[in-house]
Amino acid sequence: MTEQLQQAVERFQSGDRSAFNEIVRAHQREIYNLAYRVTGNAEEAKDLTQDAFLRAYRALPGFRGDSSLRTWLYRIAINLGSDWRRRLFKAPLQLDEAADPPAPERDAGLALAVQRAVAALPYKQRTVFVMHHYQGFKHEEIAQITKRSVGSVKANYFQASAK
């Protein structure tokens, strides 16, 4: 966590609620991207992102820094994504192509095929694949966030990549 974000957390915990805006600005895009990749729908991703920051706002006074702020926020978003997925109980994902900027004409078919393939992955594989491939997390970080073993994370990533 950058020193500026660390200071924002400390100010928030000391009563300066406006400091939370800095935290949101620093992490909103990546939390939204994760939510979009998990849900496959722009509106659902916006709702999940908003819910994640609302939970973070309520829980931040008790944040001890045992993990990085980024890891903590991702854990909240992953938990909300799991809750969302359970509510749908394996309902097929509806892709919202308007949420991603359009690819050039020659690559549009490939981009859509990749998006559909990722959306069709089982939830655990999709989550690991998105976090590693799109968000740049290491397997160890994903294991910490998802509370799974590194071996399980690697297996899920390998299985997702093979599909």
pLDDT higher than 90, residue 24? yes
In whole angstroms, what is the distance from residue 105 CA to residue 94 CA?
Answer: 22
pLDDT value, residue 103:
44
**Least confident range of 57-71, 87-101, 104-118:** 87-101
Over residues 98-102, the mean pLDDT reads: 45
Q: 49 or 98: whose pLDDT is higher?
A: 49
Residue 45 lies in a domain: yes
Residue at 141 is within a domain: no
Q: Are 92 and 111 in contact (CB under 8 A)?
A: no
Q: What is the CATH number of the domain that holds 75?
A: 1.10.1740.10
Q: For residue 129, tell me if it sits in a domain.
A: no
26: containing domain: 3-95
Q: Is residue 147 part of a domain?
A: no
Statement: residue 3 has pLDDT above 80 = yes
Is the residue at 128 inside a domain? no
Q: What is the largest CA-CA distance in the chain?
A: 53
Q: How far apart are CA 24 and CA 13, in angstroms?
A: 15
Range in 37-41, 50-54, 147-151 with the lowest mean pLDDT: 37-41
What average pLDDT does the segment 14-39 reach?
93
Q: Is the pLDDT of residue 127 over 70?
A: yes
Q: What is the mean pLDDT of residues 14-28?
A: 95
* 12, 19 Cβ separation under 8 angstroms: yes
Give me the number of domains the chain comprises. Answer: 1
- Give me the pLDDT at residue 123, please: 84
Please state, in angstroms and rounded to a whole number, the distance separating the CA atoms of residues 49 and 51.
5
CA distance linking residue 28 with residue 45, whole number of Å = 11
Q: Is residue 152 part of a domain?
A: no
Residue 98 has pLDDT above 70, yes or no: no
- As a whole number, mean pLDDT of residues 69-80 equals 92
Average pLDDT over the chain reads: 84
CA distance 51 to 156: 26
In a domain, 25, yes or no: yes
